[in-house]
Amino acid sequence: MLITALLSSCPAFLVTAQTQARQASFDPDKSIISQYGAQNADTARIRQWMDTVILFSKRRPLESIPFFNELLQLSIKQHFDFGAFNSYSNIITIYNNKGQYESAFDLMQQMHALAAKADLPQFRAAVLNSLGNYYQRKGQYDSASHYYFKALADLEGKANINPSIIPAIYGNLSGVFEHTGEYEKGLQYLQKAEPAIRTSGNTYYLALILINKGNALLKLDQADSSIPPLKEALQLAKKYEYTQWQHLALSDIAQSYFQLNDHQTALHYLQEALKLKGDIDPVYQTSNTSILGDIYFAAKDYKQAEYYWQKTLVSATELKISKSSLHAHKMLGELYQVTRQYELAYQHANSYIILRDSLLKTDILNRTSTLDKKYQTAEKDKEIAENKLLINKKQHEIQNRNLWIGIVATGTLALALLTAFLYSRFLISKNKQRSQEEQLGNIEREQEILQLKSMINGEETTRIQISRNLHDGIGGQMASLTMLLSMIKNKYQSGQPIEHDMQKLSNRLQETAKELRQAAHNLMPDILNRQSLKEVLLHYCEQNSQENLRLELQYDDTIILTKNAELFIYRIVQELVQNIVKHAAADFAAIQLMQTGNVLAITVEDNGKGFDSATEIQNGQGLQSIRSRVEHLNGYMSADAAPLLGATIHIELDCSKLQQL
């Protein structure tokens, strides 16, 4: 399991011999101001005190935080961007190295509002970048990328910026794309950052970029290509004593050799990483123990694999690293199955399923929240555009009124001439007003289509994600069922009672079958990407036809639609058919799609118990949802139904509007 290296903001800067020569004497039992006096707190003195505290932090990191905090406040007061940037970054680095992520987040929140007001671009970028790293650790990649891009936007065009900052943010941003599976895009950002870092001569940042580059190549299944940048990073980390990066480089090199099936070399590098002393981020250490478990399992040393995965599970649970916990439960389930410890295998498989489902729900909530924010933003943009047009309209009305006042004020001698002139101006103004009203109408229609298109794309993105996760989940449930069967077999052979376990097995089978049916038919019609709408609807009718319900499809072969339009139609038909299956008590239903000129007509008819069309189409949630979608495209929808007489739903849509989806 690979972990992308994150630069918290900037490292604790190395202290050279020249720096040591100018460091001040230091008493760790007194504050900086009480030792040196507030009157001496100019930028040169702050630099000197900073060097002294950095040296102290190497021996006693947590005890140095109050002094860095004091330097941070002094730097902000003096408008000293470098001092604020450096002080803040060192505090965040110490918290992260000690695994105190929530303490780091508390500081980020305190500084976020302050940095937004301060004219200190490097300090502001450090705060935004560290917020991005926090959310990346949490797996909230939308929030992480938001803060990274905001930091880059704030630095754009600014003078006297440390040349290493922007490439370092690129390095962190690449991690977001790697976590979301966009490895090529992540690699592009790293390749963009590498030349700038090499030019700046900053070896600390260069080691970070090289580690992430090797990481990205490894995820692209280019294990051979990943080793050279990782080994270069390892040499830099050893030469300059960057313990954190040394640990990560060793870990990733081990992963590369593991992928190349060279288990002995992989173990050599991991064991070297475990021997390192100093402050190492606990997240990286947890990743190492997980990799060791993977390697020993591949080598069939199950005892060692169990030891390291159990160790991973303990630390991942303590640090709330959900993905590491998920991996450990999954692999322990497989290990106990191989070693025939079916009770334990069943427990870990269950824990894996429960945790995976919890993460899936969190992901869906985050995606829904993001979609809602985007929708609200689009609504605000639309409102602004409408208000601007209304303001222009009002301005022209005022101009017209002023022109008419001017007519009355002018002399009678120029009346005819002025009247002709002003009348022509009035006509121009009226035409302009009419044009603006048409423009306003066009914007409203375009916004409605864009809203609908965004809604469809957002829904489908979520459905695809859910569908894939359910597919993985069903596989996990089947593995769990296999283990349960093995356990029942052992109990049966040893004469133990199995009635309770058989009931549990029956319940599990029913749950799995139900989940499989819903995943196949209700969530993501992935088949639309491979087949035509007609073929998909035929398949859908076959799947939903039952002993007491026959579905028939009539489809006009001249219909040609884009994939988005096909998906739009599929969702409408799916909703109408589900209403029949759930509520109509019909034994026959017909679905008809016909195109006449530029109009696509959809008719769904059944011989069921019907409903009161006067109230149901207004109050029924399913039909109301369909009506809302149809109206977004200026379409027409009618319901002809009555109790005990079946129902007919008829929809007409403009094909040109459909093609815009």
Helices in 60-164 by DSSP H: which ranges?
61-77, 81-97, 101-117, 121-138, 141-155
Looking at the predicted structure, is the pLDDT value of residue 584 above 70?
yes
Q: Does domain 1-161 have CATH number 1.25.40?
A: yes
Looking at the predicted structure, is the pLDDT value of residue 280 above 60?
yes
Enter the tokens of residue 146: 């938001």
Q: Is 426 helix (H, G, I), strand (E, B) or coil?
A: helix
Q: What is the mean pLDDT of residues 385-396?
A: 59
The topology under which CATH files domain 163-276 is: 1.25.40
CA distances (Å), 640 to each of 588, 617, 646, in order?
17, 10, 9
Looking at the predicted structure, is the pLDDT value of residue 2 above 50?
no
Answer whether 0.85 is exceeded by the pTM: no
Question: Residue 134: which of 49, 40, 7 has the closest Cα?
Answer: 7
DSSP 175-237: HHHHHTT-HHHHHHHHHHHHHHHHHHT-HHHHHHHHHHHHHHHHHTT-HHHHHHHHHHHHHHH
- How far is residue 17's CA from residue 379's CA, in Å, rounded to a whole number? 59
- How far is residue 267's CA from residue 296's CA, in Å, rounded to a whole number? 9
Question: Residue 319: which of 7, 130, 101, 8 has the closest Cα?
Answer: 101
Q: What is the pLDDT of residue 224?
A: 92
Question: Residue 72: which of 23, 101, 111 has the closest Cα?
Answer: 111
Enter the tokens of residue 632: 């977004």
The residue among 119 and 652 whose pLDDT is bigger is 652
Within 8 A by CB and 6+ apart from 347, the residues are none
Q: What is the mean pLDDT of the chain?
A: 77
Find out whether 290 and 314 touch, Cβ atoms under 8 Å: no
- How far is residue 116's CA from residue 270's CA, in Å, rounded to a whole number? 43
The residue to which tokens 């001496």 are assigned: 40
Q: Is 256 helix (H, G, I), strand (E, B) or coil?
A: helix
Where are the chain's structural domains? Answer: 1-161, 163-276, 362-522, 526-658
Residue 398 one-letter amino acid: I
pLDDT tens, residue by residue, 208-243: 889 889 888 988 889 899 999 999 999 998 998 888
Q: What is the DSSP secondary structure assignment for residue 242, as one 8-state letter? A: -
Looking at the predicted structure, is the pLDDT value of residue 472 above 60?
no
Looking at the predicted structure, is the pLDDT value of residue 73 above 50?
yes
Find out whether 545 and 551 touch, Cβ atoms under 8 Å: yes
End-to-end CA distance of the chain: 40
Enter the tokens of residue 603: 């008719």
- How far is residue 155's CA from residue 168's CA, in Å, rounded to a whole number? 13
Q: What is the mean pLDDT of residues 371-382?
A: 49
Q: What angle do CA 225, 227, 233 make, to 5 degrees?
A: 125
CATH code given to domain 526-658: 3.30.565.10
Q: What is the pLDDT of residue 19?
A: 41
Find out whether 181 and 173 touch, Cβ atoms under 8 Å: no
Residue/partner pairs of 64-73 with CB below 8 Å, 24 or more apart: 64/90, 64/94, 65/91, 65/94, 65/95, 66/31, 67/28, 67/31, 67/32, 68/94, 70/31, 70/32, 70/33, 71/32, 71/46
Looking at the predicted structure, is the pLDDT value of residue 278 above 90?
no
- How far is residue 299's CA from residue 317's CA, in Å, rounded to a whole number? 26
**pLDDT more than 70, % of the chain:** 73
Question: Residue 255: which of 228, 305, 295, 196 has the closest Cα?
Answer: 295
- How far is residue 332's CA from residue 73's CA, in Å, rounded to a whole number? 49
Looking at the predicted structure, is the pLDDT value of residue 114 above 70?
yes
Q: Do domains 1-161 and 526-658 have the same CATH topology?
A: no
